[in-house]
Amino acid sequence: MSNTLHPPRLRRLDNVFVCAPFYFVTACTHGRARTLANPAVHDGLREFGICAADRGAFVGRYVVMPDHIHFFVSIANGTLELSSWIKSLKNSLSKILRTQGTAAPHWQKGFFDHVMRSADSYSLKWDYVRANPVRAGLVSSPEAWPYQGQIHDLRY
């Protein structure tokens, strides 16, 4: 006997819940102030990303733009929450901005995050992000932008 009152359910995605979620994150400066694209902030992001591995957060590829940062991060399940980790990152970079004479507030509240669900979506997102400096007219090729890189080799 078939149940004709209910249509068949759609199949759910296989990779929605994973042990170590793989996020694409964007954080913007307060008022979109152009304060981030400099060697000290870049070095501070790299140092924070290297040390973050001790807490279970692994920063992959990133691009530091003048008024926002994009990066990929994987957080080991149960080690910490993404929001508290981003808050620590912002605080760390704010210390650098203060030493450069930039008055607070430095950051917009919150951040934007997206869970990567496939290697293809990761590849497409990275291609888009690494071209940001070109689209903004800052350089003629993605490779020419000095404030980008990779801290950990994250693979989907």
Q: Average of pLDDT values for 149-153?
A: 95
Q: Average of pLDDT values for 50-74?
A: 95
pLDDT of residue 9: 61
Percentage helix, strand, coil for the chain under 3-state DSSP, each rounded to 5: 35, 20, 45
**What are 83-141's pLDDT values in tens digits?**
999 999 999 999 999 999 999 999 999 999 999 888 888 889 999 999 999 999 999 99
- Give the confidence band of 16 by pLDDT, cuts at 50, 70, 90: very low
**What are 41-60's pLDDT values in tens digits?**
999 999 999 999 998 999 99
According to DSSP, the residues that pair with 80 across neighbouring strands are: none
Q: Average of pLDDT values for 137-153?
A: 97
pLDDT of residue 80: 81
Structural element, H or E, at residue 5: none
Q: Average of pLDDT values for 66-83?
A: 90
**Cα dihedral 25, 138, 120, 42 sign:** negative
> What's this model's pTM, rounded to 2 decimal places?
0.85
Instruction: Determine the topology of domain 22-150 in CATH.
Output: Alpha-Beta Plaits (3.30.70)
Domain ranges of the chain: 22-150
Residue 18 pLDDT greater than 60, yes or no: no
Closest Cα to residue 59, out of 98, 95, 93, 25? 25
